[in-house]
Amino acid sequence: MPRLLPSNDFRARRHILVRGDFALATGRAQRPSDLIERSTWDGIVTLPDDVAVRTSNHHGTTLRQLEELWGAWVECYGSTKDCMFPVMLDAADDFQAATYAALTGYYRLSVAALRSSLELVTIGAWAQVCGKRKEFKNWRAGKLTLSLGLACDGLISGTELLRAHLRSVANDSLFDQKDALHEGGFVRRIYSGVSDFAHSRPGYADADLRKSNGPIYVRSAFNHVAWVQFETIGLCFLLVLLARPGMRVPPVVVDLFADVKRVRSRVTRAAFQSLYVLAP
């Protein structure tokens, strides 16, 4: 039978926000109007809570790093309402959801959340770099369909110097199309990989990752989806740097690109070194 965590474990009790915690809160707080039954609550949260405790028993450093990178992403919003601002707002929710899903054992959904963040930020970078603000505005208004592939095609010509540099130092690219000799740029490859999870293709469903129904804690599955998140958020920071030349990023982002265990892709690290000049 499930047991309660000891009272001296900070994870044993839930917290709720009070009115003063919200930047905008009007009117009086509503009292409960249809309180959930305990059996229903237990049926929904007992398994995810168990996984969250087990995950946080063994992956505190990784969870802290992911949380810090989410905070750095929020810090980089800025106040300029350019093409990056709205997509960065939306991507922040995806990054936070990806971490929470991984914490609670929903590994496929963790990776699936990254698909939309990468697509959004790539489209925003394309619009900003290539001067496609009208198209971006129409897309945001639901009047135009845009895709990651279209954005990558535009960024090939919009980043010619970087493309030549990456081909020279890493024999790779960020945005190139797939052909008979090349697998395509790293942005397209990552997007293809996370799309396998988003669509639950054979070999990429939670049952494949956990070898069980669930959720349950699986160390190898958590490590894999955490790495995918590090790689994806790294790419998204690169796209922001492309769209906002000269922007400074928090130290945790610099540390991310210096860590070959979290960002394994040589082309991603080479692109960061090219785009971001560290202050003396």
Query: Per residue in 254-269, pLDDT tens?
Result: 999 999 999 999 999 9
What pTM, to 2 d.p., does this model score? Answer: 0.92
Each residue of 33-69: pLDDT tens digit?
Answer: 999 999 999 999 999 999 999 999 999 999 999 999 9
Q: How far apart are CA 243 and CA 266, in angstroms?
A: 21
pLDDT of the chain, 280 residues: tens digit per residue: 788 888 888 888 888 877 777 766 677 778 889 999 999 999 999 999 999 999 999 999 999 999 999 999 999 998 888 999 999 999 999 999 999 999 999 999 999 999 999 999 999 999 999 999 999 999 999 999 999 999 999 999 999 999 999 999 999 999 999 887 778 999 999 999 999 999 999 999 999 998 888 899 999 999 999 999 999 999 999 999 999 999 999 999 999 999 999 999 999 999 999 999 765 4
Q: Which of 178, 165, 181, 189 is nearest to 242 (CA)?
A: 165
Contact 123, 136 (CB under 8 A): yes
